């Protein structure tokens, strides 16, 4: 008999805690949807406190893998393989740039842009964590505002564009990946300069949108950044067309693009540091 | 035991954020963890853990702060509600119960994203991804919950041994 009032007060307490929690969620959400929300320092503090664990893990994994690769598993072959892999990646990237230069050789200004692009100052960063849920796709870098990183800076690797910096902490930065559904990049088809918007769709795929059905886009076409968005320098490789569907209802065709960067194997990236300055030049 | 839950929760958080696994392959370990805590520990402990882990998750995600908190809290409340109808001691009710909880989470997330994001969040490909992750997590629930149970037992045993040793020494 005595249990009943206890149970009731217990339930009331639970209900109270639940209501307080829901209120807390509303306060958090309403405070954080502003651009410069008051909880940013707290957020930075949490990241600063937890991110070293990611670093520690990466260091341990790197150490173990170095020991394995360096001493146990065919020292010479491994080093040679790494070098060749790097060379192949560089060649692919150079090939894309070469094609682009050929297509645009008559336009001197664009050539100059490419020259600028090649001379862009970049900083290397390591990816220490991912948010690869269904809803969002982002990565965490081990460099932040202390290393000169700023909001909007493009993040690339040898294969092409990875994403752009969307949040910067003193020692870390958050990168919105190209495959996130909130990501949109002004893009062109390298072969015929057809323009569209490259949208992420959450899975490891993007869609090139707003391409009219009478435009010629084929499987295998390389998609480049047009440079018009003001974030990614013109000519950077975004991906390759993997499927084209003109039977979908509406004015536009559905163009599926496989991103150039392999997101399941991302480790080191480059952050382009002065893109906005270069692009703002007339 | 709170320390154990805290350590395990953070371990799972780091594990989930270290590997760039594509969405369908990626199990929602934190949801399963909170289901486990709600079933085993006090409701208040589960709520506090959901708030804490959710906030850390929010700091590492792209959504506004509070979204992941809401999602994990849904897992706790969902478990508290669902346990009345599903007996979590058996495998099939465990799978069905977790599926219902994850469905609830999906609905909450869709609602929040619809309200908060300027772009549409539902794509046909996404429904497929949600279903894959839901079924993957639900099907693995008996195994993962069993593993959490084993870890908890090991922790209890270790605590007991430690206290016995301390009392013997004194």
- pLDDT above 90: residue A123: no
- pLDDT above 60: residue B23: no
> Once rounded to an integer, what is the mean pLDDT over residues B141-164?
92
How high is the pLDDT of residue A115? 47
Residue of B nearest to A173 (CA): B60
CATH of region A36-282, choose from 3.40.50.2300, 2.40.10.350, 3.40.50.1860, 2.70.98.10: 2.40.10.350
Residue in B7, B11, B15, B17 to test binding to A, most A beta-carbons within 10 Å: B17
Residue of A nearest to B123 (CA): A201
What CA–CA distance (Å, rounded) separates A76 from A11?
Answer: 67
The answer, for B151 touching chain A at a CB cutoff of 8 Å, is no
Q: Which of B10, B51, B116 sits opposite A24 (nearest CB)?
A: B51
B110, B121 in Cβ contact below 8 A?
yes
Residue of B nearest to A134 (CA): B23
Residue in A29, A144, A151, A173 to test binding to B, most B beta-carbons within 10 Å: A29
What CA–CA distance (Å, rounded) separates B42 from A130?
Answer: 31
How high is the pLDDT of residue A241? 94
| pTM, 2 dp | 0.77
B/e letters for A126-165, b = 16+ CB within 10 Å, e = fewer, are bbbbbbbbbbbbbbbbbbbeebebeeebbbbbbbbbbbbb
Residues in chain A closer than 8 A to B55 (CB atoms) = 28, 46
Residues in chain A closer than 8 A to B66 (CB atoms) = 24-29, 32
**Which of the four pLDDT bands, split at 50, 70 and 90, describes residue A69?**
low
> Once rounded to an integer, what is the mean pLDDT over residues A167-194?
89
Residues 78-107 of B with CB under 8 A from A: none
The answer, for B139 touching chain A at a CB cutoff of 8 Å, is no
> Once rounded to an integer, what is the mean pLDDT over residues A72-77?
66
How many angstroms from the chain centroid is the CA of residue B83?
Answer: 15
> Once rounded to an integer, what is the mean pLDDT over residues B135-143?
90
Q: Would the CB atoms of A133 and B44 count as touching at under 8 Å?
A: no
A201, B123 in Cβ contact below 8 A?
yes
> Once rounded to an integer, what is the mean pLDDT over residues B10-21?
80
Kindly report, residue by residue over A14-56, the tens digit of the pLDDT.
Answer: 888 889 989 988 888 888 777 667 777 888 888 888 888 887 8
Q: Which of A24, A33, A264 sits opposite B64 (nearest CB)?
A: A33
**Six-digit token pair at A211?**
């391409």
- pLDDT above 50: residue A1: no
Number of H helices, E strands in chain A: 5, 12
Residues in chain B closer than 8 A to A21 (CB atoms) = 47, 50-51, 69, 73
The answer, for A40 touching chain B at a CB cutoff of 8 Å, is no
The answer, for B146 touching chain A at a CB cutoff of 8 Å, is no
End-to-end CA distance of chain B: 24
How high is the pLDDT of residue B157? 92
Q: Would the CB atoms of A203 and B43 count as touching at under 8 Å?
A: no
Q: Where are the domains of chain B?
A: 2-165
> Once rounded to an integer, what is the mean pLDDT over residues A7-13?
80
Q: Would the CB atoms of A132 and B77 count as touching at under 8 Å?
A: no
Report the candidate in A219, A224, A220, A214 with the shortest Cα–Cα distance to residue A193: A224
Residues in chain B closer than 8 A to A258 (CB atoms) = none
Residue in B7, B38, B50, B60 to test binding to A, most A beta-carbons within 10 Å: B60
B51, B73 in Cβ contact below 8 A?
yes
**Which of the four pLDDT bands, split at 50, 70 and 90, describes residue A114?**
very low
**Six-digit token pair at B112?**
């929040």
Residues 6+ apart with CB under 8 A from A52: none
The answer, for B124 touching chain A at a CB cutoff of 8 Å, is no
The answer, for B55 touching chain A at a CB cutoff of 8 Å, is yes
Residues in chain B closer than 8 A to A25 (CB atoms) = 66, 69-70, 73
- pLDDT above 60: residue A3: no
Residue in B20, B31, B64, B78 to test binding to A, most A beta-carbons within 10 Å: B20
Q: Would the CB atoms of A131 and B62 count as touching at under 8 Å?
A: yes
Q: Where are the domains of chain A?
A: 36-282
- State how beta strands A268-272 and A154-156 pair: antiparallel
How many angstroms from the chain centroid is the CA of residue B144?
Answer: 11
Q: What is the ipTM score, two decimals? A: 0.80
To the nearest whole number, what is the mean pLDDT of chain A? 80
């Amino acid at each position: 008999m005595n249990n009943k009032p206890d149970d009731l007060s217990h339930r009331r307490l639970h209900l109270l805690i639940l209501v307080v929690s829901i209120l807390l969620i509303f306060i958090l959400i309403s405070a954080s949807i502003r651009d410069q929300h008051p909880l940013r320092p707290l957020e930075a503090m949490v990241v600063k406190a937890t991110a070293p664990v990611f670093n520690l893990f990466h260091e341990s994994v790197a150490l173990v893998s170095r020991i394995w690769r360096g001493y146990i598993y065919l020292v010479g072959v491994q080093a040679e393989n790494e070098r060749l892999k790097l060379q192949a990646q560089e060649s692919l990237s150079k090939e894309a740039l070469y094609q682009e230069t050929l297509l645009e050789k008559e336009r001197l200004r664009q050539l100059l842009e490419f020259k600028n692009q090649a001379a862009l100052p970049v900083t290397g960063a390591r990816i220490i964590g991912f948010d690869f849920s269904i809803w969002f796709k982002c990565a965490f870098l081990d460099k932040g505002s202390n290393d000169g990183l700023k909001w909007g800076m493009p993040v690339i690797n040898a294969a092409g564009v990875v994403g752009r910096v969307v949040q910067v902490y003193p020692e870390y930065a958050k990168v919105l990946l190209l495959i996130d559904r909130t990501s949109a990049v002004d893009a062109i088809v390298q072969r015929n300069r057809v323009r569209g918007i490259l949208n992420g769709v959450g899975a490891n795929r993007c869609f090139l949108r707003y391409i009219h059905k009478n435009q010629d886009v084929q499987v295998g076409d390389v998609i480049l950044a047009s440079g018009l968005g003001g974030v990614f320098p013109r000519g950077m490789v975004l991906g390759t067309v993997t499927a084209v569907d003109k039977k979908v209802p509406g004015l536009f065709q559905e163009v599926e693009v496989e991103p150039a960067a392999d997101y399941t194997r991302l480790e080191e990236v480059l952050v382009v540091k002065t893109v906005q300055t270069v692009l703002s030049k007339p | 035991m709170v320390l154990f839950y805290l350590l395990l929760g953070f371990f799972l958080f780091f594990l989930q954020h270290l590997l760039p696994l594509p969405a369908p392959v990626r199990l929602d370990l934190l949801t399963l963890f909170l289901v486990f805590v709600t079933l085993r520990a006090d409701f208040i402990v589960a709520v506090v853990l959901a708030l804490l882990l959710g906030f850390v998750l929010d700091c590492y995600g792209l959504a506004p702060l509070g979204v992941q908190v809401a999602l994990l809290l849904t897992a706790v409340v969902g478990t508290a509600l669902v346990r009345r109808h599903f007996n979590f001691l058996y495998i099939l009710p465990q799978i069905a119960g977790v599926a219902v909880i994850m469905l609830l989470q999906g609905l909450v997330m869709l609602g929040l994203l619809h309200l908060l994001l300027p772009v549409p969040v539902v794509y046909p490909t996404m429904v497929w991804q949600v279903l894959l992750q839901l079924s993957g997590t639900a099907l693995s629930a008996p195994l993962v919950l069993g593993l959490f149970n084993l870890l908890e037992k090991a922790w209890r045993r270790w605590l007991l041994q430690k206290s016995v040793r301390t009392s013997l020494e004194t």
